[in-house]
Amino acid sequence: MTSAPSIAYAAPFFPYSSSLTPDTTKRQTTTDLDPAHYRTQLYKSDKVIEEFEDLLNSTTLDSCQMCRRGMKMAQEFSLEAPELVPGVLRILCARYSFLRLDSCAGLMVRLGPELAEIFSQMDVDGSDGYYACAYSFPGSCPVPKHQPANPTIFPKPKPANAAQPPPSGQSMKVLHFSDWHLDPLYRPGTEAKCSHNICCRDFGSWNDPGPIKKRASKWGEPKCDTPIALGLSALEAIQRFVPNATFGLFTGDIVSHDSWLITEKYVADLEKTSYELFKKYLQEVRLYVVLGNHDSYPSDQAPARHKPEQYSTHQWLYDHVATVWEKNEWITSIEADYARSHNAMFMTRPMPGLKLITLNTDLFYVRNYYNMLDTDQDDPSGLFHDLILELQDSEDRHERVWIMGHMAPVTLTLPRSSILFQRVVARYSPHVIAGIFTGHYHQDKFIVMHDPDAEERTQASAVNVVYQGPSITPLDKANPAIRWYDVDPKTFSILDSHTVTADIITQADYWESHDLEPEWILEYSARSTYSDPLHPLPAGEPLSPAFWQSAVERMKDDAGLFGKYIRYQSKSSAEAKECLWGTVCEAETRCELQASTVLEHDVCEAMLEEEGAAGVGGKGGRKKPKPNRWKRFGVTRSGVVLDVNAYDRERGIDF
C-alpha cells in the first residue's frame, strides 16, 4: 500500500455533506393538529400514562403478569393512536428508567414509531409477549426456551470422517479490525468523565454542571468514542503492520454510541465518510464489511425481509451501504444487488477455493425489537435457511468457507438462533467452515464452539472457533487495537493471530503534551502465547479448535496463562476490570470461552451464582448487573423452561 494523508489532513473529512436525497429521509409520523383534536390526543396520552402507573402500582399481579398486561395496553394504544406512542414512551422512560432525561426523550422519539408498529403486530398473548418482557425488562418474565426443530433438517447428511484439509506449508496475511465508532463531534478539552454513556463532547445545556473533572485528550479517552485523530492513526498503523494484506475484514459498527441523538442522515454520512477513509488508506486491499448493531437507524433495529411493509422502512440503508461498497470495488454489482435485498448480507469468493458468507447479526440480536415478532418460528428471517444452502453448496464444491458477522449468536441472542447456529457450525465443521469472525464486544476474545451432542466439553468435542476482533474505539476502558491473521492460502485455516495496540488509556495525555503520535506495538501472537509448552504445535499446523480448547483447559491450573488472557482481552488496558485467577470471575471467564449457546451461558451463570453464594473466590469476581429500578422486575430469573399456555392457566390470565 502507498502512503495516505497523515493526521494533519483530518480536517477536510469533517464536516461532511449528506449523500441522501430529500425523498429518502425517514417519513414523519406526526401531523399538524387542530386545537380540538390536539386536546383529544392529549387526553388519550394522559389517560394511558395514568393506566400504566396504576398497573405498576398493582399489588395483585406478579412481575410477569404486570409486564404482559402492560404489553397488551401498549398494543391497544399503538393500534388506536400510533402517533402518540413516542411521547408516552418518553414520559414513562423518564419516570421509570435509569436513563437521563435527554436520553429518554431522544431514544423514544427515534424508537417510538418503530415500537408502535411492532406492538401493533405482536402476539402479546403468546411467546412474543413473553420474549418482549423478558428482554425489555429482565427478570419480569422467564425467557421461553424455544427449541428449534430437532433434528435440524440439512440437505444432506454429514460426510463420514469429515476432516479439514492438510496444511500446504504456505502463508498469507488477512487484516481484521472492528468497532470503529468514529465520533465526528468529539472535542478535545471537553469533559472525559461525564454522566452520558459517551463523553468528550460539548452537549450544550446538557453538559454536566461544575468544573471539568478530566480534560479529553485529542487521542481518545476510555469513556469516549473514537476521535478522528485516533481513527487515522489506527489506519496508518494498518499500513505499517499489514502492508501486504491479501484482503481485509471489518466486522461492523461505524457509528458512534449516541443512539439518542443520531439521525438517518448522520448514520448515512458517517458510514459513507468512514468507508471512503478505509478505501483511501487500504487502497488496493479489498475490504469486506458487515453492518453492526449501531449501523442502522434507529440503532439495533433491522426488520427481516419476510415482512415487506417493515423491510421497506430500512431499504434506504441497504441501498446506501451496498452502493458505497460497490463503488469502492469491495463487492461486485451482483453481490451489491443481493445485499440490497438481503439486509446488507452477501456471499463472495475472495480467492479461489474460499467463500465468504456475511451475516446481519441484528436478525437474532435481542435488542432488535423486530425479533420480538414471530418468536414461535425457528428462522423467521430466513437467515439460517440461506446460510445452510450456501454451506451445502460449498461442501458440494469442496471449497472452504469463512463466516463473518458483527456478533456471534452465543450471547445477547434469542435462544433458538443460538442453538441453530451451533448445529449448523457442527454440521459443516471442520471440513467446510475454516473460520468465524466477529466483533461487537470491544475486547480481544475467542469462543470455542462444541458439538451439541457432546456430553462434555473436551478437545475432541471442539468443532470450531469464533475470533472476536478487538475494537478501534477505546470506549469501555479498552485500548484500541487492530489484528491480522497468518492464513494457509490453500486450506484457509488460521495459522496465527497477531494483535497490535496503542496504550491510549495511560499514554494519551503524555503523547498530546509532547506533540507525539500514538505508539502502536505488537502486543502478542496467539500461537506463541497459547501453545502448550509440553506439546508444541508443529510448524505449519493451524490453530485448531482443539488448540484453543487446550488453552482454556490449561487456564484452570495456570495462573500466568489466565493472566495473559485477561490482560490481552482489554488490550493491556490499565483500567480494565480486575479478574483474578482462583475467583468466581476466573470460572465465569473460562465458561464464556467454551459456551457455544445462550443456554450454556445460563447454565454456567447458575453454577457460578451457587459458588458465589457458597463463598467461593470472592475477590476478583465481576459485579452482577444492577437490578431494574422498579423492584417488581427482579422477581423471576430468566432462562426457566416455560409453557406459555400452562403459565396462563396457572394464574388464571385471560387477556
Report the SS3 class of residue 441: coil
| Short-list 479, 564, 489, CA closest to 237 | 479
Binding residues: 179, 181, 253, 293, 406, 440, 442
Q: In Å, what is the CA distance from 166 to each residue of 402, 431, 541?
A: 17, 10, 8
| Confidence band for 174, pLDDT divided at 50, 70 and 90 | very high
Binding residues for Zn(2+): 179, 181, 253, 293, 406, 440, 442
Q: How many CA atoms lie within 13 A of 260 on its CB side?
A: 18
Higher per-residue pLDDT: 262 or 27: 262
Instruction: Show the cell assigned to 53.
Output: 402507573
pLDDT reported for residue 99: 77
For residues 401-422, average pLDDT: 93
Please tell me the pTM assigned to this model: 0.89
The residue type found at 570 is S
The yes-or-no verdict on residue 504 having pLDDT over 80 is yes
- For residues 214 and 194, what is the distance between their CA atoms, to the nearest angstrom? 9
Higher per-residue pLDDT: 271 or 610: 271
Q: Mean pLDDT of all residues in the chain?
A: 87
The yes-or-no verdict on residue 66 having pLDDT over 90 is yes
pLDDT tens-place string over residues 253-312: 999 999 999 999 999 999 999 999 999 999 999 999 999 999 999 999 999 888 888 878
Q: In Å, what is the CA distance from 25 to each residue of 111, 265, 267, 509?
A: 16, 7, 12, 40
Cα–chain center distance at 418: 14
pLDDT tens-place string over residues 319-328: 999 999 999 9
pLDDT reported for residue 603: 75
For residues 361-385, average pLDDT: 93
Q: What percent of the chain has pLDDT over 70?
A: 86
Q: What percent of the chain has pLDDT over 90?
A: 71
Q: Are 480 and 501 in contact (CB under 8 A)?
A: yes
- For residues 331 and 336, what is the distance between their CA atoms, to the nearest angstrom? 6
Higher per-residue pLDDT: 469 or 602: 469
For residues 73-82, average pLDDT: 94
The yes-or-no verdict on residue 382 having pLDDT over 70 is yes
Instruction: Show the cell assigned to 17.
Output: 455533506
For residues 341-349, average pLDDT: 96
What length does the chain have?
Answer: 655
Lowest mean pLDDT, pick from 149-163, 419-433, 456-470 = 149-163
pLDDT reported for residue 392: 97
Count other Cβ atoms within 10 Å, centred on residue 479: 28
pLDDT reported for residue 625: 41
User: What does the angle CA 328 – CA 180 – CA 249 come to, to the nearest 5 degrees?
Assistant: 50
pLDDT reported for residue 400: 98
| Short-list 331, 257, 323, CA closest to 289 | 331
pLDDT tens-place string over residues 213-222: 999 999 999 9
Instruction: Show the cell assigned to 546.
Output: 482443539
pLDDT reported for residue 508: 97
| Residues 6+ away with beta carbon under 8 Å from 201 | 183, 185, 186, 187, 190, 224, 258
pLDDT reported for residue 621: 52
- For residues 273 and 324, what is the distance between their CA atoms, to the nearest angstrom? 10
The yes-or-no verdict on residue 43 having pLDDT over 60 is yes
The yes-or-no verdict on residue 642 having pLDDT over 80 is no
- For residues 274 and 320, what is the distance between their CA atoms, to the nearest angstrom? 13
pLDDT reported for residue 611: 60
With both helix axes pointing from N to C terminus, report the angle between 63-80 and 101-121 in degrees, rounded to the nearest 10: 80
Three-state SS annotation for 507-565: HHHHHHHCCCCCCEEEEEEHHHHHCCCCCCCCCCCCCCHHHHHHHHHHHCCCHHHHHHH
